[in-house]
Each structure stands twice: as C-alpha cells, then as structure tokens.
Chains A and B, each alone.
Chain A
C-alpha cells in the first residue's frame, strides 16, 4: 500500500511539475523568462551564402556565437509558408531551443501562431510585422544608412543626376529613395534622383535593363534597393559609380561601388538576446524599428573615389546618427508638389513612415 501511495504521490508530483512547466511563466507585468539554459536557433529564408540579406544574418550569427559564447543553430531555405515553418520550429523546440530567430516578412503570421502555442519560448523575426508577449519583429531604419550613401553619391556625381533601382513602391522602399535624395542634396543641392521600380526584389534581368536605361539617360551614380548586386556590376561595366545595399558590394564592383548600406544585426541582437537571457523580457508591442544607434544598419564607406572633404562630412553625419542626434524625417518637410508632409518641429511617426507615398523635391518617379 505504501508503495502505491508513494507511486501516486510521485505521479502527482510529476503532474504538478508538468503543469508548472507548461504554464506560461510571463505575466503582464513580469515579462517572459525562458526556462532552462538559453538555446538559440535561426531560420533563414535563403541559403546562408546568398550574397545579401541572409548572408548578413549569417555573419551576425558568427559574431553572436563569439559574443555569447554559445553555438547558434540555423536552418537554411525555410520558405514563407506555414507548412514549411511549423515543423522546423517545433522540432527545434523539441530539441531544447527556447529562442527562435526568423528572417522573413512571410514568417510573420506563423510566428504569431507559434508564439501563442509556445508561450515559454522567445521569438524574434527580422522584417516581420507581428508582435506579442513573446514575439518581437525587428527591421532597420534603412533611410539613415541610405541617406549617407546618398551623400556619397552626390559627392562622386559629375552630372548631379543620380539613378535608383528599386523593387516595389512600398513605404520602406520609398523612405530610402527620399533619404537618398536628401543626403545627395547635402553635398550637391541640385542633385536629382530618378527611380525605376522593377516590380521584383531579385530579378537581375530587369535590374540590368533598368540600370542601363538610367545610365543612358545621363545618371552617373546608381543607388539600389533590390537584392542582387546587378546594378553595381552594370555601373562598373559602364564606367559610372554606384552605392550598394545589404552588404559591402565592393565585392562585386570594386571600382564602381563607393558606399553600401549594410546590415549589422549582431549589434541589435547581442543586446536583445542578453535581455531575453536575463529574464523578464518584455518585447516592444509595436516591434523594433532600429535606428543606426540601436544597431541594424550601418554603412561600408567610402571608396577612394569619394573626395576626402566629403568623406569627412559623411563620417561626421554618421557619428550624429550613431549618437541619435540627427533625425532624417524631421519637419519642416514638403513633398515635390509643395504639400507640407511634416510640420515644423515634428518627427514623422513610424506608422506614417511605413505608408510613405510622397517624394521630396528632386525625386523623379513614375508615381
């Protein structure tokens, strides 16, 4: 009988322990504390050597492994569909991962569901749009780094006509275009930016045709917000300059690329991961839109084509941005038609940034 009681008691204890484990440990005021030793895993949307977006995450992963002193697992080529994401994440969690980092817009909804299903696991998602008590989406204020690239473009342009190859007319693309023009105006007040949207994030054929057309029309510096380095390669072929995106594109066009907007996710993730590990993690309900000061983006600048005086100006501006002293979208600011978009003394709020559909004077688009 005693043994039966003992077994029963042990069983009850086991049930109790189980309940304890599965019970969400966050409360509204307490934040999330992950259970057990922290184990991080990343999901990549494309191969780790894709030369752009994912490779930047993989470089961050390697730095984080050193800084945090632990291995970080990763899974490559996870497509943006729930049926692909779920099994990967669930297997990682079963094997003990309790911090999951995604890298794609298309993971947003599935991550939200998974975060609700696994409330004791911390989720992070780069370029995602969903947030919850244990899910934080993050992205960079790419307009800051592209502003600096615009300055470099203005500095090396002889004609004052800059070209820009962009993917789709979305807010986060349009904000880089405006910033590029504003940056160029810092060096050359008469600079203009002519934009071609290709309608695709990664279509080297359209990017080549667009870059050729811009150069044919007199553009002598080509900026870009598309994934492939094609615009830089064409710029080098045609003997003009360019500014890159995602990573330092001097790798592809050492003569042409004068500056690149690059991702530095490790600077943000190192801080955020330590917060999660410390416990009582409370992700921002609106997600993290990272300024250069917070990590996320930076520049690889400048090539020797940029005059030293301008390099000094660019680096001084970079310092201001790094210290959080400079706002790019600060009033008063009007669009090309003269309509006031940001009143005096105001800074454009994030929701309006995401919906940006206006362009400053000097931007030439089909919109």
Chain B
C-alpha cells in the first residue's frame, strides 16, 4: 500500500511536463504546422524559468518569462516555415540543435547553471489529501492543479469556439480556409507562438518546480517523447493527457520498484519508456480507421505542408 501511495504521489511531477508539451504541440499541429522542436523549446523554457527566478525571485514571473522566451525563440521557427517555407521537418530539427547550443551557452554566460531555486510550496487540498492511496495526489504544487484546467480551456477552445474551428480549418484545408476569408498565416503564426508558450511552461516546470535547477541538456529527450505522445493521442488533448499520465506513471514506477528492492534486469528497465513509445506507435499504426469520422482521424490533413496562396494541390 505504502509503495502504491508514494508511487501515485510522484506521478504528477513526471507527467505534467509531458502533458503540457504535448498540448503545446497539439495547438501548433492542429493549425497544420509540424512542430518537431519541442525538445529545444523545453530547454529554452527550462533555462529562462531558472533565469527568471534568479533575476526576479518570483516563481510566477519565472514561469511567465519561460513562456515568453520559448515563444520568442519560436518566432525564428515561424519565419522559417511560414515566410521562407523551409521544410518543416528540417526546420524543427534545426530548432532543436540551435536551442541546445543556445541554452548551454547562455546558461554559462549568465551564470544560471547549477544554482538551486526554491519553486512553489506544495498546496495541500484538504480533505482530499487525507484519502488513502491517492491522498498524495492532492499535495502538489499549484501548476499540477492548473494543468487539467489548461487542458479544459484548450479543448473547449479547439472544439467549441469560432476561433478554434478556424484554427483547425487552417490545419485541415488551408486553401478552403483562405477562400472563406480566414487569414491562414496569421493563424499559423499565432498557433506556433501559443504552442511554444505551453512547451516552454513544460520546460520551466521541470527546472523550476521539479528539479529546481538548470543543468545543460536537462530535458533528456522528454520533448521527443511528447512528439510521440501527440501521435499516440491522434491530436486530441484529452488523449494526450491520458498518455502523459501513462508515461509519467512508468517513469515514477521504475525508481519505486528499485527502492523496494524488486529484482528486474537493469538495462531492460532503462529502456521501458522507449519500448512503450514504440508499442504505442505500432498500436496507432495498426488498425485501419475510418478517416472520415472526426474522432478516428489520424492527423490534420495539411500537417507539414506550407501554404502558398493560389497553388493547386
């Protein structure tokens, strides 16, 4: 019982970065822009989160600064793919490498590396925190409680608001959207910036609220897992939320089993998150779904395609 309770209590810390990064990717990709740069933008968020805290001594400002910084860097990506119409896969990969180098350099220049920050105090939601087994789910930092609300807001926006419908239209059929008078590039530009802000928040969650310091390349490939999560979720926010909890649960379970002295082959344990990623991809690829039903659709139709007005497809 004790082990399950502490396992459950550690899940949010590991699941929230996956969830927020995947949500940011969904916002961008629903507008038809393939965003592979999550790993890099998470690093930018992580660095500027810690930097914001060290400069302003406020966790709230730190998180905001992280979101702004990630959005700022993503302008570069937006210009590359929207204005210059560079291949989105290549631009996304280039963004990751650029951000890895940039954050490593700035971390040293500004002296933000290896400086502990204090983050938020945990909020105890009494009396839920007294529940058996799941009680520790309700002793978490405020961003954990905020995450489902952010998901709720984004899901409502995408599915039930006029602006959200237009954003999806841009991602499905930009020519038709353009003919209907929707400013395609403006929507895509906004989607890239908004998505980057969420991904930056995911990075700042790791550095400011979870590990509480900046270390070069600290996201350790979690941005890539978020990219896989979005495919698994078939671009639906709530499925991404579930997927993030699944991955967070696995990451939280591994050390709990080790601490309890359960014997498992070490290298097999190290590879489980990646095996699960692969399994999920295969599971998504296998069934032949009816692509005309919105719920069964695999991806936005115009994903990865640059928009050129008056070009015939």
Interface set of A (CB-CB < 8 Å, partner B):
46-47, 49-52, 77, 163, 169, 194-197, 199-200, 202-210, 212-214, 216-217, 219, 228-230, 233, 252, 364-367
Bound-state CA distance A205–B219 (Å) is 8
Q: 12 A–B contact pairs at CB < 8 A?
A: A46-B216, A194-B258, A197-B258, A205-B206, A205-B210, A205-B211, A209-B13, A213-B259, A214-B259, A216-B2, A233-B212, A366-B264
Contact of B258 among A195, A202, A230 (CB under 8 A): A195
Hey, which chain B residues are within 8 Å of A219, CB to CB? 259
> Is A208 touching B259 in the complex (CB atoms < 8 A)?
no
Bound-state CA distance A122–B246 (Å) is 54
Nearest residue, chain B, Cβ from A161: B259
Considering only residues 205-225 of chain B, those with a C-beta below 8 Å from chain A are 206, 210-213, 215-216, 218-220, 222
Stretch at the interface among B33-41, B186-194, B248-256: B248-256
Nearest residue, chain A, Cβ from B219: A205
If A206-B251, A213-B258, A252-B114 are given as contacts, then 16 extra A-B residue pairs at C-beta distance below 8 Å, sorted by A number, are A47-B108, A49-B108, A163-B259, A194-B259, A197-B266, A209-B10, A209-B251, A212-B10, A216-B2, A216-B3, A216-B9, A217-B6, A230-B211, A233-B116, A366-B258, A367-B263
> Is B255 touching A51 in the complex (CB atoms < 8 A)?
no
> Is A204 touching B255 in the complex (CB atoms < 8 A)?
no
> Is A49 touching B220 in the complex (CB atoms < 8 A)?
no
Hey, which chain B residues are within 8 Å of A229, CB to CB? 114, 116, 213
Hey, which chain B residues are within 8 Å of A77, CB to CB? 104
> Is A204 touching B116 in the complex (CB atoms < 8 A)?
no
Nearest residue, chain B, Cβ from A208: B211
Nearest residue, chain B, Cβ from A219: B259
Hey, which chain B residues are within 8 Å of A364, CB to CB? 261
B23: CB under 8 A from chain A? no
> Is A49 touching B113 in the complex (CB atoms < 8 A)?
yes
> Is A50 touching B211 in the complex (CB atoms < 8 A)?
no
Q: Which of A52, A163, A202 has the most CB atoms of chain B within a 10 A radius of its CB?
A: A202
> Is A205 touching B14 in the complex (CB atoms < 8 A)?
yes
Known: A217-B3, A366-B269. A205 touches B258 (CB 8 A): no
Contact of A366 among B108, B111, B266 (CB under 8 A): B266
Interface size of B in residues (CB-CB distance below 8 Å): 42
Q: How far is the CB of A301 from chain B (nearest CB, A)?
A: 21
Interface set of B (CB-CB < 8 Å, partner A):
2-3, 6, 9-10, 13-14, 104, 108, 111, 113-114, 116, 206, 210-213, 215-216, 218-220, 222, 251-252, 254-267, 269-270
> Is A216 touching B259 in the complex (CB atoms < 8 A)?
yes
Bound-state CA distance A252–B213 (Å) is 10
Contact of A205 among B9, B220, B270 (CB under 8 A): B220
Bound-state CA distance A169–B263 (Å) is 14
Known: A169-B266, A205-B206, A216-B256. A50 touches B113 (CB 8 A): yes
Hey, which chain B residues are within 8 Å of A365, CB to CB? 258
> Is B216 touching A204 in the complex (CB atoms < 8 A)?
no
> Is B211 touching A196 in the complex (CB atoms < 8 A)?
no
Hey, which chain A residues are within 8 Å of B213, CB to CB? 204, 228-230, 233
Hey, which chain A residues are within 8 Å of B261, CB to CB? 194, 364, 366
> Is B270 touching A196 in the complex (CB atoms < 8 A)?
no
> Is B114 touching A49 in the complex (CB atoms < 8 A)?
yes
> Is B255 touching A213 in the complex (CB atoms < 8 A)?
yes
> Is A47 touching B269 in the complex (CB atoms < 8 A)?
no
Hey, which chain A residues are within 8 Å of B108, CB to CB? 47, 49
Q: Which of A205, A365, A367 has the most CB atoms of chain B within a 10 A radius of its CB?
A: A205
> Is A199 touching B270 in the complex (CB atoms < 8 A)?
yes
Nearest residue, chain A, Cβ from B218: A204
Nearest 8 CB-CB pairings of A with B:
A51-B114, A216-B6, A213-B255, A204-B211, A199-B270, A213-B259, A217-B259, A196-B258
Nearest residue, chain B, Cβ from A367: B266
Contact of B218 among A50, A163, A205, A216 (CB under 8 A): A205
Bound-state CA distance A47–B215 (Å) is 11
Q: Which of B6, B9, B116 has the most CB atoms of chain A within a 10 A radius of its CB?
A: B116
Q: How far is the CB of A196 from chain B (nearest CB, A)?
A: 4
Hey, which chain B residues are within 8 Å of A212, CB to CB? 6, 10, 255
Bound-state CA distance A203–B206 (Å) is 11
Bound-state CA distance A341–B116 (Å) is 42
Q: How far is the CB of B11 from chain A (nearest CB, A)?
A: 10
> Is B220 touching A203 in the complex (CB atoms < 8 A)?
yes
Q: How far is the CB of A256 from chain B (nearest CB, A)?
A: 12
Hey, which chain B residues are within 8 Å of A197, CB to CB? 258, 266, 270
Nearest residue, chain A, Cβ from B269: A366
Nearest residue, chain A, Cβ from B270: A199
Q: How far is the CB of A81 from chain B (nearest CB, A)?
A: 15
Nearest residue, chain A, Cβ from B14: A209
Known: A205-B206, A213-B6, A233-B213. A196 touches B259 (CB 8 A): yes
Q: How far is the CB of A94 from chain B (nearest CB, A)?
A: 27
Contact of A49 among B111, B263, B264 (CB under 8 A): B111
Nearest residue, chain A, Cβ from B214: A204
Bound-state CA distance A219–B206 (Å) is 24
Nearest residue, chain B, Cβ from A207: B211
Q: How far is the CB of A228 from chain B (nearest CB, A)?
A: 6
Hey, which chain B residues are within 8 Å of A49, CB to CB? 108, 111, 113-114
Bound-state CA distance A216–B10 (Å) is 10
Q: How far is the CB of A363 from chain B (nearest CB, A)?
A: 10
Bound-state CA distance A196–B263 (Å) is 11
Bound-state CA distance A216–B108 (Å) is 35
Hey, which chain A residues are within 8 Å of B220, CB to CB? 200, 203, 205-206
Q: Which of B212, B256, B257, B258 has the most CB atoms of chain A within a 10 A radius of its CB?
A: B258
Nearest residue, chain A, Cβ from B111: A49
Nearest residue, chain A, Cβ from B271: A199
> Is A196 touching B255 in the complex (CB atoms < 8 A)?
yes
Nearest residue, chain B, Cβ from A192: B261
Bound-state CA distance A367–B260 (Å) is 13
Bound-state CA distance A212–B11 (Å) is 11
> Is B212 touching A213 in the complex (CB atoms < 8 A)?
no
